[in-house]
Amino acid sequence: MAERRFTIADVARRAGVSKGAVSFALNGRPGVSDETRARILAAAAELGWVPNRQARALSTARASALGLVLARAPELLGADPFFPAFIAGVEKVLAARDQALVLQVVTTPEAEREGYRRLARDRRVDGVFVVDLRRDDERIALLEEIGLPAVTLNRPDVPSPFPAVVLDDRPGIAAAVRHLVDQGHTKIAHVAGPEPYLHAAARRQAFTDAMGEAGLDGRVVDGDFTAAGGRDATRRLLTGPDRPTAIVFANDVMALSAIAVAAELGLRIPDDVSITGFDDTDLAGYVHPALTTVRADAGGWGEVAARTLLALIDGPEDADVTDTALPPAELVLRNSTAPTPPTPQETQ
């Protein structure tokens, strides 16, 4: 009877991982942790697994493409100026390397997980960008399991074997609060992004901390990073009791929508209410009044993330591709902020 020849699937079952993770570990590619790699190598040794040379040649072939899976409604993607700028930065690097970006837009967590699995299974990409990090982000473990190299935008709050490109949002938000306080504002609100997103939570916490340092209580209302969400949150704040004299928005899209809402309500920016944004998108400097905002270079972020991911993919197995810290976000002063409006008593 011929001796059975074990396959990569047998090694995967013995190690308790996917076939993709086995392929990455045995071919010396990044994307699996040291612990997982050691478990796979031990399983291969126990089985006496010997790679098929032809299959090995196929498994090490490059796709010459990187992947980006975005979990959001397609109609909202064009309304968020961050991602077009980020993608432009990525493409600037990839074009010089004659590589491509594979973009998938999905609407459910199940579709998102399947999107990553399909990219790995079909060998369509050599690695992926992980954006919009969430609390207890399950994508980190998934990518490690399927053996897909990755770079994260900021650090996740779960253990991660992948390098991160980090931009600290907090100094920009803190600077916006200090600027408004210096202008005499004490009734300052924050329209936050979706709470599960780590960057939205960081901006929310930075606002709360800066208000506390100023000896003030800040009101926080939830937004969703969309123009509609910013419009609804602004209307609630400006028509409710104890109207704020200044609002710090978690992104420019929501802040720009506030300009229209204020006009509809007969309020003037910045005479009646000051507003600040975050991102410094192209429109921020061209609306009236021009938007005071926090600058985050999305295009530069994309360039650095692309170079980092390519270094991870191209480097030897023991290459130490570390986190990269970008310059912290900074406040850009324009015309949408002014000293606090006088009280009725002061105008008499």
| Phi/psi of residue 260, nearest 5 degrees | -70, -40
Give the model's confidence band at 56: pLDDT under 50 very low, under 70 low, under 90 confident, else very high: very low
- Tell me the sheet residues that pair with 102: 67
CA angle 172, 84, 284 (to 5 degrees): 45
- Whether 249 and 291 map to the same domain: the answer is yes
pLDDT: which is higher, 130 or 12: 130
Q: Is residue 2 part of a domain?
A: no
Q: Is residue 3 part of a domain?
A: no
- Whether 291 and 315 map to the same domain: the answer is no
Compute CA distances 176 → 210, 261, 277, whole Å.
9, 21, 9
Given the DSSP bridges, would you call strands 164-166 and 127-130 parallel, antiparallel or unpaired?
unpaired
Q: Is residue 46 part of a domain?
A: yes
- Whether 84 and 36 map to the same domain: the answer is no
- Whether 240 and 94 map to the same domain: the answer is no
- Whether 175 and 160 map to the same domain: the answer is no
Q: Is residue 19 part of a domain?
A: yes
Cis peptide bond prior to 270, omega within 30° of 0: yes
Residue 30 has pLDDT above 70, yes or no: no
Pick from 125, 70, 143: nearest CA to 310: 125
Which residues are CB-contacts of 327 (< 8 A; sequence separation ≥ 6)?
Answer: 167, 297
Q: Say how far residue 245 (Cα) sits from the centre of its chain.
A: 30
Contact assessment for residue 54 and residue 268, using Cβ atoms and an 8 Å cutoff: no
- Whether 224 and 264 map to the same domain: the answer is yes
Domain carrying residue 30? 8-59
- Whether 178 and 151 map to the same domain: the answer is no
Q: What CATH number did the domain enclosing 41 receive?
A: 1.10.260.40
Q: Is residue 82 part of a domain?
A: yes
Q: What CATH number did the domain enclosing 185 receive?
A: 3.40.50.2300
Mean model confidence pLDDT for the chain: 88
**Model confidence pTM above 0.95:** no
CB atoms within 10 A of CB 315: 13
Write the pLDDT tens digit of every residue in 146-188: 889 999 999 999 999 999 999 999 999 999 999 999 999 999 9
Domains held by the chain: number = 3
- pLDDT for position 288: 93
- Whether 109 and 240 map to the same domain: the answer is no
Write the pLDDT tens digit of every residue in 68-117: 999 887 766 667 788 899 999 999 999 999 999 999 999 888 999 999 99
Q: Is residue 1 part of a domain?
A: no
Q: Say how far residue 128 (Cα) sits from the centre of its chain.
A: 13
- Whether 41 and 179 map to the same domain: the answer is no
Long-range Cβ contact pairs of 133-137 (< 8 A, separation 24 or more)? 133/157, 133/197, 133/198, 133/199, 134/196, 134/197, 134/198, 135/196, 135/198, 135/201, 137/198
- Whether 221 and 336 map to the same domain: the answer is yes
Q: Is residue 204 part of a domain?
A: yes
- pLDDT for position 122: 87
- Whether 220 and 337 map to the same domain: the answer is yes
Write the pLDDT tens digit of every residue in 185-237: 999 999 999 989 999 999 999 999 999 999 999 999 999 899 999 999 999 99
Pick from 280, 282, 346, 294: nearest CA to 179: 294
Residue 4 has pLDDT above 90, yes or no: no
Q: Is residue 253 part of a domain?
A: yes
Residue 53 has pLDDT above 60, yes or no: no
- pLDDT for position 148: 92
- Whether 188 and 251 map to the same domain: the answer is yes
